Amino acid sequence: MHDNNSKQHIVIVGDGLDAFFTAAALSTNLSKNDYSFSVILHPSNTKTNYDFCDSTQPDPKPLHHSVCLNEDYLVSQAQASFTFGIALSGWNNPRVAYFHPYSSIGAKLDTVAFHHLAMRLRDEGIPVRLANFALSALAAQANRLQRPLPNDRSVLSSCEWGLHINTKTLATLKRKQAEGQGVNFIQASVNTVEIDKNGHIDSLNLDSSNKLKADLFIDCTGQEAKLINALHDKTWISWSEYLPCDKKVSLTINSATSPAAYSFSQAHTAGWIRQLGIQGKTTLSNYFHSAHMSDEQSVSLLSEASNSTSLNDTACEKINFGRRQASWLKNCIAIGTSSVEIDPIGVSRLQLLRSSLSKLAGLFPRKLNSNAVIAEYNRRTNLEFDNARDFAMLHYKLNGRTQDTFWKECRTIELPEVLEYKLKLYQARGHIALYDEEPLQEQSWVNLYDEHGIKARNYNPLVYGFKLDTIKQHMHRIREIMLEGVAKMPTHANYLAQVKNNFNNK
């Protein structure tokens, strides 16, 4: 290690979005007087873990500025589009669809949460669907979109959104950003990793016969985990008992229509298909369990879903959902898919990458071997990864598909202790327990429970302090205001054109 008065060198290993985003975030955030950066463009020996398109969503906590995205630029120059949530079909019932909205659902009446008001009305025989009171769901249904207006008194100020992004283009943009910050890119493969007597990475032996030393090494080699596995090869915690899909096949097709303002997740007999659109392209990915569907059946199903027959180069790849026991070991940090592999039914890979980098940028120590900082980074990332896993697994555990063997087996999943507690608390009282590092907000959990038929036995007794007509009038007014707001929004296609026009005319 260098002394505290010398410039410290950080080496990032990988050739793709994880590596380039990491290089851009850290080089933008850290002083060039204190740090220098190199990226070793080590080629992956596995398929990329990112599909051609991925998504972002609203964050419960603000992200560090170094991982924020210039949305107008991405829409104008990189095919990105906006999203208000996820439409899900066939999860609770093969013939039933519902919407995971990104915006808040309804509004409190005095101090009583909206979903407790809905429970009271249902007990009176009045049907209420929560997503019908979410601005993002109503706008997505009408294929309209507008980002929040700077007017707190307008219902449009409450709208929350995400992005659908071409990950290849995003990787290119992040590499250019890193290059502009003086990051050195080296085309080479890492042959071996040398470990010193204290268990730290001492140097990397490259195929160019060069030996590279550094103070900190960041592993962005994906499933290979070339660096962190050299420190300890048994740090991967598999989530196969919780997230059952073990294979994936993806393809991208051209699309002449404007992208929808949401993604689409369609459950089938042995898994589900994710459909995500950007400008001019649509990506479809089939996540399935190999014991219940063959590769050939999976490709055929994807062909049917995409109305495409040009699948000659499509191949199924194995996936192993899980995370590192510790993403930061000694002087090595695993970032992105070297650190975690998540089923994207709720939280995307890109979302977790940005959040991990946000934590790292906010915690980054002057003394790189600070045990306290390492422990805190691992604590926070592990919590977030596990919370993302828990939200994803409930889609399987709470499914209502009674005819399919795969889904019957999913209903036998044993929940982790914390998730079991969250579920029982909601069933008992209609209360959502949120802890540190939750990647999703309360309304996402409420909507998931509700759409999968989980009913609370009791709810807030304060709801009985309101007359039934008062509650009905409150809900009517909320929906009326939201529908008026949606009617003022432009179509998604027109809004994309407006963003591009404004950006190009700056």
Question: pLDDT (tens digit, 9 = 90+) per residue, 298-351?
Answer: 999 998 888 876 665 677 899 999 999 999 999 999 999 999 999 999 999 999
Instruction: Give the phi and the psi of residue 4 in degrees, each rounded to 5.
Output: -70, -15
- Say how many C-beta atoms besides its own lie within 10 A of residue 124's C-beta: 9
Task: Give a three-class secondary structure readout of 6-69.
Answer: CCEEEEEECCCHHHHHHHHHHHHHCCCCCEEEEEECCCCCCCCCCCCEEECCCCCCCCCHHHCC
pLDDT bin (cut points 50, 70, 90) of residue 234 is confident
Residue corresponding to tokens 């007794």: 461
Task: Please tell me the predicted confidence (pLDDT) of residue 310.
Answer: 61
List, for residues 199-211, the tens digit of each pLDDT value: 999 999 999 788 9
Structure confidence at residue 47 as a pLDDT band (50, 70, 90): low
The Cα–Cα gap between 137 and 131 comes to 6
Query: Which residues make Cβ contacts (< 8 Å) with residue 209, sequence separation at least 6?
Result: none
Q: pTM of this prediction?
A: 0.95
Q: Specify the pLDDT at position 365.
A: 84
pLDDT of residue 152: 66
Q: Find the farthest-apart pair of alpha carbons in the chain and give their distance in angstroms, rounded.
A: 79
Q: What pLDDT, on the 0 to 100 scale, is given for residue 136? A: 94
Say what the pLDDT of residue 366 is: 79
Reported as type and span, the H/E element at residue 332 is strand 332-334
**Residues 228-242, mean pLDDT to the nearest whole number:** 90
CA 257 to chain centre: 25
- Condensed to tens digits (0 to 9), the pLDDT of residues 340-363 reads 999 999 999 999 999 999 999 999
In whole angstroms, give the CA distance from residue 201 to residue 216.
8
Q: Quick one: pLDDT at residue 1? A: 43
* Gap between the Cα atoms of 172 and 169, Å rounded: 5
- What confidence category does residue 64 fall into, taking pLDDT thresholds of 50, 70 and 90? very high
Average pLDDT over residues 366-392: 94
CB atoms within 10 A of CB 386: 20
| Residue 29: pLDDT over 70 | yes
Q: DSSP 3-state assignment of 477?
A: helix
Closest CA to 64 of 25, 31, 35: 25
Task: Please say whether the dihedral angle defined by the alpha carbons of residues 398, 142, 161 and 304, taken in this order, is positive or negative.
Answer: positive
Which residues face 54 on adjacent strands? Answer: 165
pLDDT of residue 148: 81
pLDDT tens-digit profile of 147-182? 887 766 778 777 889 999 999 999 999 999 999 999
pLDDT of 183-196, one tens digit each? 999 999 999 999 99
Three-state secondary-structure class, residue 317: strand
Close Cβ partners of 93 (under 8 Å, ≥ 6 residues apart) = 400, 401
What does the DSSP 8-state code read for residue 218? E
- Sheet of 8-13, strand order: 184-186, 35-40, 8-13, 216-219, 332-334, 328-329
Region 251-262: mean pLDDT is 91
Q: Confidence class of residue 5 from pLDDT cuts 50, 70 and 90?
A: low
Contact 348, 57 (CB under 8 A): yes
Segment 120-125 mean pLDDT: 95
d(CA 501, CA 372): 48
**What is the rounded CA–CA span in Å between residue 156 and residue 348?**
26
Q: DSSP for 53-111?
A: EEE----SSPPPGGG---HHHHHHHS--EEE-EEEEESSSSTT-EEEEESS-BS--BTT
> Percent of the chain beyond pLDDT 90?
82
In order of their start, the domains of the chain are 8-78+166-238+322-378 (3.50.50.60), 105-165+389-487 (no CATH)
pLDDT in tens, 433-486: 999 999 999 999 999 999 999 999 999 999 999 999 999 999 999 999 999 999
- Provide the pLDDT confidence category of residue 4 given band limits of 50, 70 and 90: very low
Question: Cβ neighbours of residue 230 under 8 Å, at least 6 residues apart?
Answer: 193, 195, 201
How is residue 466 written in tokens?
């309101």
